[in-house]
Structure 1
């Protein structure tokens, strides 16, 4: 092995060899899937890590965290390729709400992971301890170091204090780096790699549907969703005009041309409704005179789903008619009060 092929320390011991063999045999099928997917994201992630002054080989931590899956979600509610929990994600600038989960965004979450790893390295001055801290939390590693009076990860792993997951984390990372950088050497010769992620960005108005973006790009809705996994509701978030969205590479001019033309025929199709105490999905659908099924589909709900006070729902609106929701009766008669016409949101997109 040429040490200059790696930019993080590589120790090959019995634990590392155990996981190399495990990835080659027991978990081979899963590892092939991860390898195939890795090539979609590794070039982007390496560039971002390089920009942050970090060793590029650290991107293979995402191998162990999620298999490079933007939609990975753990039992501890960690999300995205870098498996941020809500609190840590927010600390490093990732927005998570009903509309977006930026932990799923490969670019934004990689920036956050780079910042976190950089902070961990500044604390521990050792990439193995930094990686262990990424898994267990820095204070767990600090307490282990104090308890056993050592800064050697391999010695810490001999004691019971750290969980098995953390003890395995560093040797798994090293095994993943070894295989990913030379897969043929380890018998992975049948991998059908995904194409590297390539895109450009445009800014669009609030609540712009991904279906409209797809039409403007003359691309499939699946391709646009794949480029923007952080968008949880199929639309850009409200109250955020000029939201930056990703589109296929070399589609910018086509998008701008078509988007401007489409805005004259595509009208605002959604309204937000904040659920009040005692309201039901059926009642909300009746209030806005819409069928229940599209309301459920738009919000990824089932007929048996319950809504709670303060929840925000998207309500599908007619393209051509003003919606006049039913209101309570007054003096024995039901009065209709016109819903304020939603503002026209499909303004001209700007480019970044």
Structure 2
């Protein structure tokens, strides 16, 4: 049977929400005795049982294919359970432990490994052998991603509490939702195909998925082979030395900074290290990631000062001041797209593989797959991201196994193994531009000068300087050299014909 996987962070958040803003049990006990409303308490207990049954029933609906109804039922059940828990907190004599037990039962039933290990064990493998993120199989989570992702914990606190939606973050939200909206959407699409490679590394490190997406959106847009002007490389833009610190080396000529899973693991290790150093101050950690932990550590005194303190903020580079709120804003939008009129596309991201029957390149595969499966932009970026160790133009030998989206695995025999599109892709890949010999820089300069050369007949009263000014591009020494005039006088006479160089610069 298709089981609901109850999200541990969701359960924890609901429990915290049930306790928030209301007096503690000890407070109630300290007050004067109050009449117990047995009837209302009994009603709450009944609501508890009904909500649990309703939530469990949503699994049956999902198994029968009624995903939308399953989403509504499951979400409504959780809302009712939470409301009943809040009311129980306010009533003398109501046993809150019953609600805690209900949450705990759902948590242990649907995520036993996570509950038992406190999140330290690896996620259980899915049907395709890839570890499945908590909540990924739930129809409620699938249809309401904000339910699973908004309530993600960072060092025991909901991430949403650690992101201050202040003026800089609001300005960054506007940037993402206006001129950078296409970049944000494309980063989301790219990330979805790499998610099962990258997210498990974050999950094992106890870090929230929204933060991983914030990094990807700002750093590379989900382009695995991105390289910055400073040499930072990969989907999470590691500098070479920093990558080495966290296990990203070069193996058989492949720079591991381009590997999605390995770079996510290194990024998670870096963040946990810096969170310890900066007392779990997320803004300072992000500043350190961009501007260097040494510099930020000196400015912030190891975490004693905050990112927006004038002694820190004004001393940072403009790039770092802009970087921190942009990452946080992207993470916030990942958690709360519905609040900002933002719709991330729903994508079937299950992965498969193909084995090449003949020598082919990733470029050829991109051509013959075309826009299979409804992809508006084709599959070039996704194929490169999933197979980062291969040059997209290199012809790979027969028998090479490549990772591809499952929709392409099914289409491969029809589109790329043989037929007209495979033949077209091979023909285009064999084509090449004509080779042109490149002259030396000195010869090229002489050729340019000769191509633009003109002549001038000296008039009475002319000087070489005046002639140079008249022709604008020419300089006195260039004219003298071209006409073999001797310094320092550069003697000329009326009627003499001079060669004037063209605008070669």
**Higher helix residue share:** 2
For 1:25, which of 171, 178, 185 is the aligned residue?
A: 178
Alignment of 1:26-41 (within 5 A): 26-41=179-194
What is the CA–CA distance in structure 2 between the aligned matches of 1:304 and 1:99, rounded to whole Å?
Answer: 30
Q: CA 1:251 to 1:42, structure 2 compared with 1: closer, same or farther past 3 Å?
A: closer
CA deviations 1:154-208 (Å, max 9, x no partner) are 215764211112122221122111212222321223x445543635799xxxxx9
Q: Which residue of 1 aligns with 2:37?
A: none
Q: SS state of the match for residue 309, structure 2?
A: helix
How many residue pairs match? The answer is: 254
Q: SS state of the match for residue 328, structure 2?
A: helix
Q: Which residue of 2 aligns with 1:154?
A: 308
What is the CA–CA distance in structure 1 between the aligned matches of 2:436 and 2:252, rounded to whole Å?
Answer: 20
Q: Which residue of 2 aligns with 1:78?
A: 232
Q: CA 1:72 to 1:250, structure 2 compared with 1: closer, same or farther past 3 Å?
A: closer
What is the CA–CA distance in structure 1 between the aligned matches of 2:177 and 2:388, rounded to whole Å?
Answer: 30
Q: CA 1:98 to 1:176, structure 2 compared with 1: closer, same or farther past 3 Å?
A: same
Q: Which residue of 2 aligns with 1:132?
A: 287
What is the CA–CA distance in structure 2 between the aligned matches of 1:168 and 1:143, rounded to whole Å?
Answer: 20
Alignment pair present for 1:196 and 2:349 = yes
Alignment pair present for 1:168 and 2:327 = no
What is the CA–CA distance in structure 1 between the aligned matches of 2:403 and 2:189, rounded to whole Å?
Answer: 22
Deviates more, 1:227-236 or 1:71-80: 227-236
Q: Which stretches in structure 2 are left out of the alignment for 5+ residues?
A: 1-12, 18-149, 154-158, 371-378, 410-428, 439-505
Alignment pair present for 1:227 and 2:386 = yes
Q: Is the 8 A contact 2:233 2:239 kept in 1?
A: yes
What is the CA–CA distance in structure 2 between the aligned matches of 1:247 and 1:29, rounded to whole Å?
Answer: 24
CA deviations 1:218-240 (Å, max 9, x no partner) are 99996764421133477799xxx
What is the CA–CA distance in structure 2 between the aligned matches of 1:25 and 1:37, rounded to whole Å?
Answer: 20
Q: Is the 8 A contact 2:235 2:260 kept in 1?
A: yes
What is the CA–CA distance in structure 2 between the aligned matches of 1:244 and 1:157, rounded to whole Å?
Answer: 54
Q: Which residue of 1 aligns with 2:219?
A: 65
Structure 1 residue 140 displacement after superposition: 1.1
Q: Which residue of 1 aligns with 2:20?
A: none
Alignment of 1:232-251 (within 5 A): 232=391, 246=403
For 1:90, which of 244, 254, 260 is the aligned residue?
A: 244
Q: Which residue of 2 aligns with 1:13?
A: 166
CA deviations 1:10-35 (Å, max 9, x no partner) are 21111111111121123223223223
What is the CA–CA distance in structure 2 between the aligned matches of 1:132 and 1:181, rounded to whole Å?
Answer: 21
Q: Is the 8 A contact 1:71 1:229 kept in 2?
A: yes
Alignment pair present for 1:144 and 2:290 = no
Q: Is the 8 A contact 1:62 1:68 kept in 2?
A: yes
Q: Which stretches in structure 1 are left out of the alignment for 5+ residues?
A: 203-207, 238-242, 253-292, 306-352
Q: Which residue of 2 aligns with 1:334?
A: none
Q: SS state of the match for residue 262, structure 2?
A: helix
Q: What's the Cα RMSD here?
A: 4.5
- Larger RCO: Structure 1 or Structure 2 (Cα < 8 Å, ≥ 6 residues apart)? 1
What is the CA–CA distance in structure 2 between the aligned matches of 1:128 and 1:231, rounded to whole Å?
Answer: 36
For 2:268, which of 109, 114, 118 is the aligned residue?
A: 114
* TM value normalised by structure 1: 0.57
Q: Is the 8 A contact 2:284 2:307 kept in 1?
A: yes
Structure 1 residue 77 displacement after superposition: 1.1
Structure 1 or 2, whichever has the larger Rg, is: 2
Q: Which residue of 2 aligns with 1:319?
A: none
Q: Is the 8 A contact 1:86 1:96 kept in 2?
A: no
Alignment pair present for 1:182 and 2:336 = yes
What is the CA–CA distance in structure 2 between the aligned matches of 1:211 and 1:75, rounded to whole Å?
Answer: 28
Deviates more, 1:32-41 or 1:8-17: 32-41
Structure 1 residue 139 displacement after superposition: 0.2
